[in-house]
Chain A
Amino acid sequence: MHQSKWAWMVHPIIVFIFSIVALSLSLILYIYWYVEVSAGLKGVIERAKLDPGQILAPQTWVVILVLSILVGIILAGIFIIFVYNLKTLRLYRLQRNFINNFTHELKTPVTSLKLYLETFKKYELSREDQLKYINYMIHDADRQADTINRMLNLAKIESKTMKGKFVNRDLVAVSRQFYEKNQHVFNGCEVFFHNPSSRTLECRIDLSLFEMLLMNLLTNAFKYNESKVPRMDITFKPKGRKLHICFEDNGIGLRRPEIKKIFRKFYQIGNSENMTAKGSGLGLYLVESIVRLHKGKVTAANRESNSGSVFTVILPMNAPATA
């Protein structure tokens, strides 16, 4: 308790304010003293009957000007360093969070794999059991591969060298196919597709990236969900040259202050200290990066009537093919 009494003294904001006040004060004092000294000097010059204009007038103001500029530069420098420092600190905290969670993400499949392999070594299981556990292991290996792929993809997307293989596709069909292909991942959850315009909605997309986006949004919706039957409604709404895709879930929703932060890299809802937060903190960041790569936008909001959140992905649409 006694330590924290003085802890605020070393808080970066306090240090920053103090140094700025000190610097400004010193500038004022410099000028004050300089004026005083030159006034004294003036008296001496007058008494010595020298020509005052020749020695003093220009010099005084040049000195004050130069001093002010220098101090101004120093102040700006401190300010910039301060801002960068804050950013670094935040990133450092987030990164620690990330390492914590990623450790879990990487270790879990390995633990499971090792556990089953050691069990196989120790016991002679029935063929039926063997197959069941081998399937578990394949699943775990896939999960590990996914995690690694996500990291590598992120690095690629971030390095901006990624050009992507863009093709024209009907997004309603692509989304449906994706869901059918990955149904086993969303066991016990309901997904509905709505296309009120019943038109073919073509966009220029990179197929693997778009699937990654779908995977992230869907798993998030079901991970942060306490409803009996987690449900997601995907609605495709063409608006002018843009396609709005609404991902509406019946999950726990978002807290207002968090809506702005969720797309940040490494950001995670929940607490890493008490370890209720899970995952890498990269999912939505990845979603945003992918959408940006498609020259689109993504927004998040809460559902108005019931609990749950709505993620809206806005992508530029191809002009409808002239029939």
Chain B
Amino acid sequence: MDPNEKKRILVVEDEAHIAEGLKLNLVLKGYDVKIAADGIDGLQSWKEWQPDLIVLDIMLPGIDGLTMLRNIRLEDDHVPILILSAKGDSDDKVKGFSYGVDDYLAKPFNLEEFLLRVERLLLRALRYGAGGDSGRGALSDRELIYTFGGNRIDFGTLSAYGPRGEIRLTEQEIKLLKLFVTNRGKPISRNKLLEIGWGYPRGMKTRTIDNFMVRFRKYFEADPHKPIFFKSLRSVGYVFDHDTGETKAAGK
């Protein structure tokens, strides 16, 4: 990252006035700013434009901010994200931080405070990113290799080892597996899986998820018809779980 380069900031905010006010101030501070009016647009801009920082609202049409946050964090753990939301209870903040947000500011906010926080986040990211890691695909630095049962997933090389030997994984499979691993023991609905894993709220069939689950079971279950890791919950969705004794997250 070139420190002299203009920093790019993506503002995901559906209230046009607030979005423009934020843009005005950030541009006056010398940043390059882009506005996305909803979650779907936001995800697209994040992928195409690769911003250095994201300012995120929670209540958004299409995909809400928290789902968007989780989607981004599946692929990129480093890009600083600041939530700017009308929901300012500590419960909401805890939820945001647990999904991987870097900073949280409740509306209405103080302009100076907002600008300083943005500056700090960018500075910290600059120092962090100077280590040489580009940031992409580095969700679980500590857990690049994940083992459960007799299986092993290597998130770094997109490969895995299961009862039927070596497996090459696709990017989409890796994303879904990350989602399951980070939500171990928690049931996730098919719709949520679609939203977080793909980022499309409409137009896609939940059957897609079922097809992926069939594949995962073939990869990792001793008997794909009697799954013990990737279980389906009737009328809820899917849950991934395994015994703790067998877990071992290998270090870097």
Contacts and interface: CB of A to CB of B under 8 A. Distances in A.
> Do A and B associate with each other?
yes
Contacts of B58: 275
A37 B20 CA distance: 86
A123 B26 CA distance: 12
Contact of B111 (A104, A118, A276): A118
A115 interface: yes
B64 A112 contact: no
B112 interface: yes
A110 interface: yes
A276 B17 CA distance: 20
Nearest to B192: A274
B86 A107 contact: yes
Nearest to A125: B24
Interface residues of A, number: 24
A118 B114 CA distance: 12
A104 B66 CA distance: 16
B234 to A, nearest CB: 14
B28 interface: yes
Interface in A82-116: 100, 103-104, 107-108, 110-112, 114-116
Contact of B61 (A103, A123, A133, A276): A276
B18 interface: yes
A275 B17 CA distance: 20
B22 interface: yes
Contact of A114 (B64, B86, B108): B108
B45 interface: no
Interface residues on B, range: 20 to 34
B159 interface: no
B160 to A, nearest CB: 27
Q: Which of B15, B21, B60, B112: most chain A CB closer than 10 A?
A: B21
B86 A276 contact: no
B90 interface: no
B188 interface: no
A108 B15 contact: yes
Contact of A108 (B20, B107, B112): B107
Contacts of A133: 21, 24
Interface string A113-132: 01110110011000000000
A287 to B, nearest CB: 22
Contacts of A116: 17, 21
A140 B17 contact: yes
Nearest to A117: B111
A150 interface: no
A204 interface: no
A308 to B, nearest CB: 16
Interface string B111-131: 110000000000000000000
Interface in B1-31: 15, 17-18, 20-22, 24-25, 28
A210 interface: no
B211 interface: no
Instruction: Rank and list the top 7 A-B pairs by shortest CB-CB distance, nearest first.
Output: A118-B111, A111-B108, A115-B21, A107-B86, A111-B107, A112-B17, A275-B59
Given A115-B22, A115-B109, 13 more contacts: A1-B185, A103-B87, A107-B86, A111-B86, A112-B21, A115-B18, A115-B25, A115-B111, A116-B17, A122-B25, A122-B112, A274-B66, A276-B61
5 contacts: A103-B87, A107-B86, A108-B86, A111-B109, A122-B112
